[in-house]
Amino acid sequence: MGDRKDKSEGVTALETGVLDPVRVDRVTESRLASVDMADLAFGSVFTDHMFLMTFEDGAWRDPEIVPYGPLSLEPGVMTFHYSQSLFEGLKAYRDREGAIRLFRPEMNARRMQESCEYLAVPPLPDGAFEAALAAYLTVDAAWVPALPDHALYLRPIMFSIEPHLEVRPSDRYLFVVIGSPVGTYFGTGSKRLSLIVEETLARVAPGSGMGAAKASANYTLSLRASRQARERGYDQVIWLDGAEHRYVEEAGLMNLFAVVEGTVVTPPLDGNILPGITRDSILALLRHWGMGVEERRVDVDQLIQGIDAGRVSEVFAAGTAAVISPVGRIGRRGRDHDLPPAPEPSIANGLRKTLTDIQFGRTNDPFGWSKVVVPAETAGNPA
């Protein structure tokens, strides 16, 4: 990457104030015109460019933005063998003025540093994550859609690129940012999810702490269970704790909430659960609104009994991609337990509306969560 020749005439440098000047090699022709933003399948289209930075000789160096395309890696690269691989997920939003905004990116930056700790990967220096995203978004600004509820989903990833078979932390890594324009995650957003309680598999080894890391390997572990869930006619699983198979942890790859007799309950961050930024924002909003909130362990039997007895008015899942997804049905041991019809107004819908209004800069933002990273003047012609 550092040895790529500056052949293209289009090479410029971008000053970020944090990173070394970012070398920018622009595409000669954008693919944007060929993309139908009104008809996007999640995560299937990528923008013109990608951001790359290498960890080598003890430091993160050589930031650059280059045309999106294949990476060349030897099969001996350690990430293929020992999975030192992690990622982040967040969205860039276009506001009414045309500026591009991020939602609490410092939380993603910190979580990526924490994921690095778990995986023995050298973290990015403070501020580098945000600077990389801002540089990438400046170059691919036109890819942030202007359609309602559409956004540019950002995937920062980090993985080992040292060819070596010894089992030890690698000496070389690559940090990459790619982006994919997205519409609403679960189609219309009106369909409620059906979940099945996973009775045997676990998402993470209890006590490993790995549940709190956005490690690619955690996703690998989830694949078999989610495939089985779909084969049985459910959208996703509800994970129980790996030690006792008794306490509810997450809904697939989203954090889980239940409204029990008016109080919003969600499992605590105990190392098995991914500290979702949507989760954190939901808790902050509910407390701001003066609503009852409890972070406590949720016994799956009590949850099911509560649903059957009508004490649970709503269950919903939360994460950046889909924001808030109401749950309509939970299957357990061959029986389905249906949630009542969504109350009007529902807590889930209220949260979704306020969160997305803040994310798109449509409403007052008491927490200062939404940050303009590319001003309207330089944010390109929206797609």
Ligand X SMILES: *Cc1c(COP(=O)(O)O)cnc(C)c1O
Stretch that binds ligand X, among 52-60, 62-70, 277-285, 324-332 (CB under 6 A): 277-285
Distance CA(209)–CA(337), nearest Å, equals: 31
Which C-beta is closer to ligand X: that of 110 or that of 311? 110
Token couple for 35: 């993309």
Q: Which of 98, 181, 242, 319 binds ligand X (CB under 6 A)?
A: 319
* 101 lines the binding site for ligand X (CB under 6 A): no
Q: What share of the chain is helix, strand, coil (3-state, %, to 5)?
A: 25, 30, 45
Per the rule left: phi > 0, alpha: psi between -120 and 50, beta: everything else, 252 is left
Smaller CB separation from ligand X, 84 or 255? 255
Q: What's the rounded Cα separation, in Å, for the pair 255 and 238?
A: 10
Q: Which of 320, 325, 354, 359 binds ligand X (CB under 6 A)?
A: 320
Looking at 164-172, 275-283, 296-304, 366-374, which segment touches ligand X (CB under 6 A)? 275-283
Q: How far is the CB of 165 from ligand X (least distance, A)?
A: 29
Q: Which is nearer to ligand X, 150 or 214 (CB)?
A: 214
Helices (H), the chain: 79-82, 105-119, 128-139, 216-231, 277-288, 300-308, 347-359
Which of residues 216 and 313 has its CB atom nearest to ligand X in the complex? 216
Only one residue has tokens 């997920």, namely 89
Report, in Å, the least distance between residue 278 CB and ligand X: 3
- Tell me which long-range contacts 367-372 makes (C-beta under 8 A, separation of at least 24): 367/281, 367/284, 367/288, 369/103, 369/104, 369/281, 370/93, 370/101, 370/102, 370/103, 371/101, 371/102, 371/103, 371/105, 372/95, 372/99, 372/100, 372/101
Confirm or reject binding of residue 197 to ligand X (CB under 6 A). no
The count of chain residues that interact with ligand X, using the rule CB under 6 A, is 13
Give the number of C-alpha atoms closer than 13 A to the C-alpha of residue 56, restricted to the C-beta side. Answer: 12
Residues in 244-273 that interact with ligand X by CB under 6 A: 250, 253-255
The per-type count for the chain, helices as H runs and strands as E runs, is 7, 19
Question: Which of 278, 325, 354, 370 contacts ligand X by CB under 6 A?
Answer: 278
Q: If DSSP codes are grouped into helix, strand and coil, which group holds residue 186? A: coil
Nearer to ligand X, 62 or 250 (CB): 250
- Residue 137 or 274: which CB sits closer to ligand X? 274
Q: How far is the CB of 226 from ligand X (least distance, A)?
A: 11
**Binding residue (CB under 6 A) for ligand X from 66, 277, 298, 303:** 277
Tell me whether residue 43 or residue 89 sits nearer to ligand X (CB atom): 89
Q: Which of residues 279-308 bind ligand X (CB under 6 A)?
A: 279
> Among 23, 214, 329, 332, which residue interacts with ligand X (rule: CB under 6 A)?
214
**Residue 104 within binding range of ligand X, rule CB under 6 A:** no
Q: Which residues pair with 374 in a beta bridge?
A: 100
Q: Compute the least distance from the CB of residue 254 to ligand X, in Å.
A: 5
Give the other-Cβ count within 10 Å of 195's Cβ.
26
Structure tokens at 57: 């000789």
Does 241 bind ligand X (CB under 6 A)? Our answer is no
242 touching ligand X, by CB under 6 A? no
Give the nearest distance from C-beta 291 to ligand X in angstroms.
19
> For 247, which DSSP code?
B
Q: Is 180 in the site for ligand X (CB under 6 A)?
A: no
User: What is the sign, positive or negative, of the torsion defined by CA atoms of 229, 248, 191, 313?
Assistant: positive
Cα angle 332, 196, 270 (rounded to 5 degrees) comes to 100
- Minimum CB–partner distance for residue 60 and ligand X (Å): 23
Of the candidates 67, 89, 163, 189, which one interacts with ligand X according to CB under 6 A? 89
Please report whether residue 84 would count as binding ligand X according to CB under 6 A: no
Task: Determine the Cα angle at 22 with ends 16 and 27, to 5°.
Answer: 125
Where do contacts with ligand X occur on this chain (CB under 6 A)?
Answer: 89, 214, 250, 253-255, 274, 276-279, 319-320
